Amino acid sequence: MAAKGRHSRFPSRKSSPSTLAFTILIMFTFLGLILLALGILSIPGSTSPDSPRAHDLSSIVHDTVDRSEEDDGEGDRWVEVISWEPRAFVYHNFLSKDECEYLINLGKPHMKKSTVVDSATGKSTDSRVRTSSGTFLNRGRDKIVQNIEKRIADFAFIPVEHGEGLQILHYEVGQKYEPHFDYFADEFNTKNGGQRIATVLMYLSDVEEGGETVFPAAKGNYSFVPWWNELSECGKGGLSLKPKRGDALLFWSMNPDGTLDPSSLHGGCPVIKGNKWSSTKWMRVNEYKV
């Protein structure tokens, strides 16, 4: 009997280098499709129908942030992007009702007619463009103020030491702050701390009508904001935010490349009904010595 050869019944096929390369390509394509389907990979430049485009205010993003350990059950704390030019964000329920009342009561006995900075001299002067009254609180003056200042620093990613003291502001019916920039045009005011880079404006009260913070130079179709029908005539002159007790508005006066951002022009619309209490924290590029 003839011995059986060791050959397989199937003819042996030696893969050519091109077949091997093709097989590897197919495998990687398949793997890529799986990762895309799982959302682990994305195609550069592609946007999902849900992702916001710059200037598209019709798709306001709701980014929930971690609830802090200080959560007092007074409403969810979450951050909303309201504009990319200027870069502006609202932190809902940033302050508790008690903190708002605390700041108002600290400021109330010391309110004086607000002033503006004269860009020629760098000195504070009385002006018809700003008719509110206000007062400054020393930075870190007590534990509650320190907590708030720390929260502002965490929100803006700017150290507490770069902040000026909190300003408490009060607007009565008819009072306003005409559109202006927070950055300085003079050298005198930038000696300590450099330029103002960003502002956090906290609303300490609701306002029945008017009193919106308006950005008249904001880019995008600002009439798309969901609260458009609640705005005053002044508020409809730009991207506007209605004051809501406890909410904080963060906006940047400087671009990421360090240039000044003219789209940060902003003002406080006249109060039509009610009272507006707010508190402003201006933050500098460098440490602000107090």
Ligand X SMILES: O=C(O)CCC(=O)C(=O)O
Rounded to whole angstroms, the Cα distance separating 135 from 165 reads 10
Minimum Å distance from CB 171 to ligand X? Answer: 7
- Please identify, using beta-carbon distances, which residue of 10 and 272 lies nearer to ligand X: 272
- Please identify, using beta-carbon distances, which residue of 178 and 287 lies nearer to ligand X: 178
Confirm if 103 and 205 have CB atoms less than 8 A apart.
Answer: no
Give whole-number Cα distances, 37 to 11, 27, 185, in Å. 39, 15, 52
Rounded to whole angstroms, the Cα distance separating 258 from 205 reads 33
- Please identify, using beta-carbon distances, which residue of 67 and 133 lies nearer to ligand X: 133
Confirm if 205 and 277 have CB atoms less than 8 A apart.
Answer: yes
- Please identify, using beta-carbon distances, which residue of 151 and 171 lies nearer to ligand X: 171
Confirm if 89 and 77 have CB atoms less than 8 A apart.
Answer: no
Minimum Å distance from CB 178 to ligand X? Answer: 9
With CB atoms as reference, the residue minimizing the distance to ligand X is 268
Minimum Å distance from CB 128 to ligand X? Answer: 15
> Which positions lie near ligand X, rule CB under 6 A?
169, 177, 182, 201, 213, 266, 268, 278, 280
Give whole-number Cα distances, 120 to 123, 124, 128, 186, in Å. 8, 11, 17, 7
Minimum Å distance from CB 282 to ligand X? Answer: 7
Angle between helices 143-156 and 97-107 (to 10 degrees): 120
- Please identify, using beta-carbon distances, which residue of 160 and 249 lies nearer to ligand X: 249
- Please identify, using beta-carbon distances, which residue of 96 and 131 lies nearer to ligand X: 131
Minimum Å distance from CB 102 to ligand X? Answer: 19
Structure-token pair, residue 56: 């598209």
Minimum Å distance from CB 47 to ligand X? Answer: 33
Minimum Å distance from CB 126 to ligand X? Answer: 16
- Please identify, using beta-carbon distances, which residue of 52 and 272 lies nearer to ligand X: 272
Rounded to whole angstroms, the Cα distance separating 240 from 262 reads 16
Confirm if 275 and 170 have CB atoms less than 8 A apart.
Answer: yes
Helix, coil or strand: residue 80: strand
